[in-house]
Structure 1
Amino acid sequence: MKNSKKLNVLVVALMMIFLGSCETWLDVNENPNNPTDAPITGLLTNTILETTLNVQRAGNITSPYVQHLASPNPASSTDIMEPLDFSGTWGSFYSVMSDLTDLMDKAERLDANHYLAAGQTLMALNLGMVVDMWGSAPYSEGFRFTTVTPKYDSDQELYTEIIALLDQAISNFNKTSAVTIRADDFIYGGNIPKWIRFANSLKARYLIHTPGYDRGVLLAAVAAGFQNNGDDAKMDFFSQRFNPWAQVAINNQNLLLGGWISSQFIEALDGTSYPIFDPRLPLMVGTTATGDFVGVPNGAGRGNAPERGARSTLIPEQYYTRRLGPVLIMTFAELKFIEAEANLGANKAGAYQAYLDGIRAHMQMLGVTPGDVQNYLDHPSVGMGVDAFTVNDIFKEKWIATFLHPETWNDARRFDYAYKDMTIPDNINPDLGGQFIRRLQYPDSEISRNGKNVPSVGLLDRIWWDK
């Protein structure tokens, strides 16, 4: 946001009035209600809102790929992984990253170190989502407007920048700040220790993607990261603008179809794929008109089922779909699963405990009763013990705990989509040769504007960390 309002310049003719030897110039008046520069508080508020919306936008794209959601229509482009144009989402990422550049520039001029750190944290998050979905992208020449055709930095180089931004953010949060973050912070309300934990948790997220990461560095970030569910990075919405997942559920009730649940997700929680009913299921999705949980097979559509009541969908006012509820940016539960994965080879007992803690944290976040939490953890298919515990168990539970979140697609690709009973969608895009999608197509808007720099890639070409 170069300016939230464009300045209307009033040109006043300068008149020289010669009265003897006197010379008078008329003043040029500025309207104080029409600012030429956005205040730093407004920049932070806007960039937090738009970043949160970007998390949801990305999750909306990727949820069918990981079989959280499915289309009610057969051979829907999202389900069958056809190349799609996400110019709008790409534009949203670059708009907020431009705003964040302004925020960081202004923060440096004002010696507002905490605003600078928040901007660096949010920049790392947005850039990370761009790289994880598209790969190489404009960044080093992307926001200073020295060229209208910025070069593409490699995805591996950008990952180095993401970690550097987070390290800089942690350092700047630990400095004094000439300007204090307060109510303009929709995530933590100016609680800087929580911001520090958030930046460290994000660092752990991006390190776990990175081949050959330093385990000690990653676990240090985990230790300095979220300590409980109260540290979750999330933004609650407001009456003027509903949680976008709530809007999907409301729209579905009004026959604007969306938010239908994949059979894969239902069967993973209802006792079909695993020998226990997961008490989170009724807190996450709705039932059919007869009180059952029935999903839609990805790519196949709902078949002869009527539009309402015969399949499970997102429904209003559950945890993920409360009108004034949160969109989750990163959670303590996710961090515990990162810790479990990082520890698995060297400290299996520690990995197992982090895995159990991750399940417990997610269940508590949703409001599962303590008795149901313990019964689930005690079941031998979940609490299998250290010796029988494998990486498959981590990825299965993390796949549930990151419901509707774009991070799930990163895990799915790192795990090579090896979730139990996850199958290729019906009517799969034939160009994929029976394989799962590995990246997004670059948007048409970018090809038309900056085509000479856009990499030539296909949907099966892998992001650098997905080798």
Structure 2
Amino acid sequence: MTGRLHRWTTLVVLAALLWAGCDALVNDEKFDKSPNLATEAPPEQILTGALVGSILLQDGHLARLSGVWTHQFTGSDRQFLAYNEYRVSADDFTNMWNLAYQDIIGQTRLIRAEATETNNRLLRGIATITEALAAGTLTALFGDIPFSQAAQPEQYPNPAFDPQPQVYEAIQQMLGEAIADLQSGAGISPGSRDIFFGADADKWIKVAHTLRARYYLHTGDYAQALQHAQMGIDAPDGSGDLIAPHGSSLYNDANPFYLFVEIERSGYMTAENAFAPSLLDPTSSIYRGNAKTDESARFAFYYAGENGDYVLNTADGAFAIDADFPIVTYVENQLIIAEAALLANGDFNTALAALNNARAALDQKFGPGAYQPYEATDFDAGGIANPQGESRNRALLREILEEKYLSLIGNIEAFNDARRTDNFIGIPIRTGNRFPQRFLYALSELNANENAPNPPPGVFEPTTVNAGDYPGLSLQ
């Protein structure tokens, strides 16, 4: 329930609660009753807990389900067979919903309040971005959500559900304020308590701009998305990326994908006959490679297997026990520039340059020579990047969105992109004739909050910002 609020005091407790791959460990009542759990903690320590919670929100259950629904993974056994057919229940989302509100939004609001009292603008800025990321994830996936009244149980025991566009507006305002806070230079650094950047204000500022660009993309404001992405993460080597750090200690800092696939639910989730590995596999009939694109190294990084019998690479690739997880990256930022430039003002050259910037970064990781720069003529009808014979602009947009889909394997944003673009790149629908449009409101919220929607929207009902047509569909 969104009104409930917790304050964790040690990273040991947080690790036990949040790093475990099994969502059942996120059990607030169990920890409510712990005699060892204090009720107060320094804001810097609370920040660490909120950041740890943010990691699990981004690479835990919501990411796995997003990957299954976007055909990056395949639900192969038990409840994941149902997920593979878009069959979910409200209780499937209770743990992650509670995690977002209790352990991220609730905690960041405590930090922000205390940081305001001490004029610690650096700490407040980091906490504000962390909260904005959680709220942006929630509203993108669920639509209208409790936000302005959330985490205030005494005043709002039944917080209202704010309309999705208003939540996005509030997030944009928060991110603008966070940037101003970080630019001020005021405050005491939380140092290593910031497990992402060690309180490097410049890196956080660029992440904030990329998040602003991401959320303007969600709401269809391509001019603003372009403006902020051009101020966003700008280090091609990934040094400015927001990356979840993982290690080799099970149930402490291990990659949640590894825990789920190898330890807790072996066989539940594979990539059998999935769309993403089929695009990357050089032996596949729909392989996307061409004279300037060699996907063999990227395929091996994410997947193993052949002839459609694909699994996630948990040995030495993206889902290994100690593999770090990208949350907000330079490559995403460049691809936002590319799409936004094309849709805001038809700027083909800026879009192509940004796509090539993303390809150059990928070449550093999977090359050399795997991703050579495209030329404008490659997108002419019949060119190597336009075998379908579409208009040049549409072919470039298709390449941008397909590249983003494959650059965000395992990232929730791939599901957000598929819905907001009306599935422009043609991700196969697993069952029926409709692509899923949202996650279901958590059962805990439906049961406890009198203001919860009744009846709640279903999986195939678009959220407000995705209800209209994607302008890329009419691009000439």
Shorter-chain TM-score category? 0.7 to 0.9
Verify: 1:222 aligned to 2:229, yes or no: yes
Q: Post-superposition shift, 1:386?
A: 10
Counterpart in the other structure of 1:91: 98
Contact 2:71/2:428 (8 A) holds in 1: no
Counterpart in the other structure of 1:350: 350
Larger radius of gyration: 1
Helix, strand or coil at the partner of 1:423 = coil
Counterpart among 369, 372, 375 of residue 371 in structure 1: 369
Helix, strand or coil at the partner of 1:371 = coil
Counterpart in the other structure of 1:260: 271
How do 1:307-386 and structure 2 match up within 5 A? 311-344=309-342, 345-364=345-364, 367-374=365-372, 381-382=384-385
Structure 2 CA distance for partners of 1:189 and 1:220, relative to 1, 3 Å: same
TM-score (norm 1): 0.81
Counterpart among 174, 180, 186 of residue 171 in structure 1: 180
Structure 2 CA distance for partners of 1:227 and 1:156, relative to 1, 3 Å: same
Helix, strand or coil at the partner of 1:162 = helix
Counterpart in the other structure of 2:438: 439
Rounded Cα–Cα distance in structure 1 between residues aligned with 2:367 and 2:280: 17
Counterpart in the other structure of 1:407: 413
Q: Post-superposition shift, 1:424?
A: 1.9
Verify: 1:41 aligned to 2:41, yes or no: no
Verify: 1:396 aligned to 2:402, yes or no: yes
Helix, strand or coil at the partner of 1:37 = coil
Q: Post-superposition shift, 1:70?
A: 0.5
Rounded Cα–Cα distance in structure 2 between residues aligned with 1:397 and 1:199: 23
How do 1:178-327 and structure 2 match up within 5 A? 178-211=187-220, 213=221, 215=223, 217-228=224-235, 229-238=238-247, 239=249, 240-251=252-263, 255-271=266-282, 272-274=285-287, 276=289, 278-288=295-305, 293-295=306-308, 311-327=309-325
Helix, strand or coil at the partner of 1:312 = strand
Q: Name segments (4+ residues, structure 1) moved above 6 Å.
A: 375-379, 383-386
Verify: 1:130 aligned to 2:147, yes or no: no
Verify: 1:78 aligned to 2:83, yes or no: yes
Q: Post-superposition shift, 1:382?
A: 4.1
Counterpart in the other structure of 1:425: 430
Structure 2 CA distance for partners of 1:188 and 1:262, relative to 1, 3 Å: farther
Counterpart among 136, 143, 147 of residue 139 in structure 1: 147
1:68-97, Cα deviation, whole Å (9 max, x unpaired): 000124982211112323111111111111
Counterpart among 120, 124, 131 of residue 116 in structure 1: 124
Verify: 1:4 aligned to 2:8, yes or no: yes
Q: Post-superposition shift, 1:160?
A: 0.3
Report percent identity of matched pairs.
20
Q: How many residues align?
A: 410
Structure 2 CA distance for partners of 1:342 and 1:5, relative to 1, 3 Å: closer
Contact 1:107/1:116 (8 A) holds in 2: yes
Query: Which has a greater percent of helix?
Result: 2
Counterpart in the other structure of 2:56: 53
Rounded Cα–Cα distance in structure 2 between residues aligned with 1:204 and 1:372: 28
Rounded Cα–Cα distance in structure 2 between residues aligned with 1:419 and 1:5: 46
Structure 2 CA distance for partners of 1:273 and 1:191, relative to 1, 3 Å: same
Rounded Cα–Cα distance in structure 2 between residues aligned with 1:340 and 1:34: 48
Contact 1:446/1:454 (8 A) holds in 2: no
Amino acid of the structure 2 residue aligned with 1:360: A
Q: Post-superposition shift, 1:36?
A: 5.0
Q: Post-superposition shift, 1:267?
A: 1.9
Contact 1:287/1:294 (8 A) holds in 2: no
Q: Post-superposition shift, 1:143?
A: 1.2
Rounded Cα–Cα distance in structure 1 between residues aligned with 2:280 and 2:299: 10
- Please identify, of 87-96 and 354-363, the stretch whose mean Cα deviation from structure 2 is larger: 354-363
5+ residue gaps, structure 2: 11-35, 468-476
Amino acid of the structure 2 residue aligned with 1:369: G
Structure 2 CA distance for partners of 1:275 and 1:332, relative to 1, 3 Å: closer
Rounded Cα–Cα distance in structure 1 between residues aligned with 2:57 and 2:239: 22
Counterpart in the other structure of 1:155: 164
1:326-346, Cα deviation, whole Å (9 max, x unpaired): 121111001111000111143
1:276-324, Cα deviation, whole Å (9 max, x unpaired): 2512443333433xxxx233xxxxxxxxxxxxxxx22113243422322
Rounded Cα–Cα distance in structure 2 between residues aligned with 1:91 and 1:77: 23
Rounded Cα–Cα distance in structure 2 between residues aligned with 1:244 and 1:202: 23
Structure 2 CA distance for partners of 1:416 and 1:318, relative to 1, 3 Å: farther
Structure 2 CA distance for partners of 1:230 and 1:381, relative to 1, 3 Å: farther
Contact 1:43/1:99 (8 A) holds in 2: yes
Counterpart in the other structure of 1:15: none
Contact 1:133/1:440 (8 A) holds in 2: yes
Verify: 1:63 aligned to 2:67, yes or no: yes
1:137-156, Cα deviation, whole Å (9 max, x unpaired): 11111112213211111111
Q: Post-superposition shift, 1:243?
A: 1.3
RMSD over aligned CA atoms reads 2.7
Amino acid of the structure 1 residue aligned with 2:279: A
- Please identify, of 127-136 and 242-251, the stretch whose mean Cα deviation from structure 2 is larger: 242-251
Structure 2 CA distance for partners of 1:383 and 1:38, relative to 1, 3 Å: farther
Contact 2:77/2:268 (8 A) holds in 1: no
Contact 1:97/1:123 (8 A) holds in 2: yes
Amino acid of the structure 2 residue aligned with 1:163: Q
Amino acid of the structure 2 residue aligned with 1:139: F
Rounded Cα–Cα distance in structure 2 between residues aligned with 1:116 and 1:375: 41
Q: Post-superposition shift, 1:257?
A: 3.2
1:339-389, Cα deviation, whole Å (9 max, x unpaired): 00111143111101111222332343xx31212233999985349999464
Rounded Cα–Cα distance in structure 2 between residues aligned with 1:36 and 1:418: 49
Counterpart in the other structure of 1:450: 449
1:51-80, Cα deviation, whole Å (9 max, x unpaired): 011001221121111100001249822111
Amino acid of the structure 2 residue aligned with 1:84: S
- Please identify, of 79-88 and 45-54, the stretch whose mean Cα deviation from structure 2 is larger: 79-88
Structure 2 CA distance for partners of 1:460 and 1:255, relative to 1, 3 Å: closer
Counterpart in the other structure of 2:470: none
Q: Post-superposition shift, 1:274?
A: 4.1
Contact 2:445/2:452 (8 A) holds in 1: no
Structure 2 CA distance for partners of 1:193 and 1:128, relative to 1, 3 Å: same
5+ residue gaps, structure 1: 7-32, 296-310, 429-433
- Please identify, of 147-156 and 320-329, the stretch whose mean Cα deviation from structure 2 is larger: 320-329
